[in-house]
Chains A and B, each alone.
Chain A
C-alpha cells in the first residue's frame, strides 16, 4: 500500500518568509509525528498527534513553529518568519498503536 508522503520534497525560501510543509500519513494510522534532522545530526522531535487528543507540542523550538492535523489525516507544519537555522530535513512519520513508525521521504528546507 501507499506509504507516508510529504510535499514538497525540496523547498528553498528566503529568510523571513513563511513556509508550509505537508504530510499525508498511511491510511488508518492514528498517530502522526514531525521531526527535523540537521545535516549529520540525530532526529529532533517536534510534535506528535494521536487521534483526537491534544497534540504534544513539547518539541517545537519556538512559537514560529506550528502544526495542524485536519480530519485525523493530513498534517501541515508551518514555520513563520523562517531563519537560517531552520534549514534541515523535516520528516513526518505515522503509526498505529504499536508505535512502529513509518517515515516519509522528508522535505529538505533551505533558508537563504
Chain B
C-alpha cells in the first residue's frame, strides 16, 4: 500500500462548479499535512497546510479526518486558473515529507 494515495483523475468540471479531492495516508502517526498545487512543467507550490480543526482560504477548504486517515480539499466556484495537479503531502516522520502522485483538475469554460 502506498504511503499517500490519491485518485489521479482527471477531474473535468465546468467553471463555477464545486469539486472535492480526497487523499488517504497509511501512517497513523503522521502529524503534518499539506496540499500543494503543480502547474504543467512548473514546480509545486504550497497551497495550504491542513490543520486538525480544518481550515479555509477563500474558495479553498481543507479537512483532516484522523480516524479514517484522509485529508480532503474542496474548491468552490472553480476558475479556469484552478486547472492544475493537486498534490497531497504528509509528514510520515520517517523522512521529510511524502508526496502523493497528484490529482489532475481541468476546469472547462
Q: Which residues of A approach B to under 8 Å, CB–CB?
A: 31, 33, 35, 41-43, 45, 48, 50, 56, 58-59, 91, 95, 98-106
Whether the Cβ atoms of B96 and A33 lie closer than 8 Å is: yes
| Chain B residue, CB-CB nearest to A108 | B41
Q: Are A105 and B43 in contact (CB-based, < 8 A)?
A: yes
Residues A56 and B43 in contact, CB atoms below 8 Å apart: no
Q: B95 touching A106 by the CB < 8 A rule?
A: no
- Please report B residues at the A interface, Cβ cutoff 8 Å: 32, 34, 42-46, 49, 87, 89, 91, 95-102
Question: How many A-B pairs fall under 8 Å by CB?
Answer: 51
Residue contact A104 to B43, C-beta cutoff 8 Å = yes
Q: In the bound complex, what is the Cα–Cα distance between A41 and B41 (angstroms)?
A: 11
Q: Which of A43, A48, A103 has the most CB of B within 10 A?
A: A43
Considering the complex of A and B, which 4 residue pairs feature the smallest CB-CB distances, nearest first?
A42-B101, A103-B43, A48-B96, A43-B99
A sample of 22 cross-chain residue pairs with beta-carbon separation below 8 angstroms, ordered by A number, consists of: A35-B99, A42-B101, A43-B44, A45-B96, A45-B97, A45-B98, A50-B96, A59-B95, A98-B32, A99-B32, A99-B34, A99-B91, A99-B96, A100-B34, A100-B49, A101-B46, A101-B89, A101-B96, A101-B97, A102-B46, A103-B43, A105-B42
Cβ of B97 and Cβ of A99 under 8 Å apart? yes
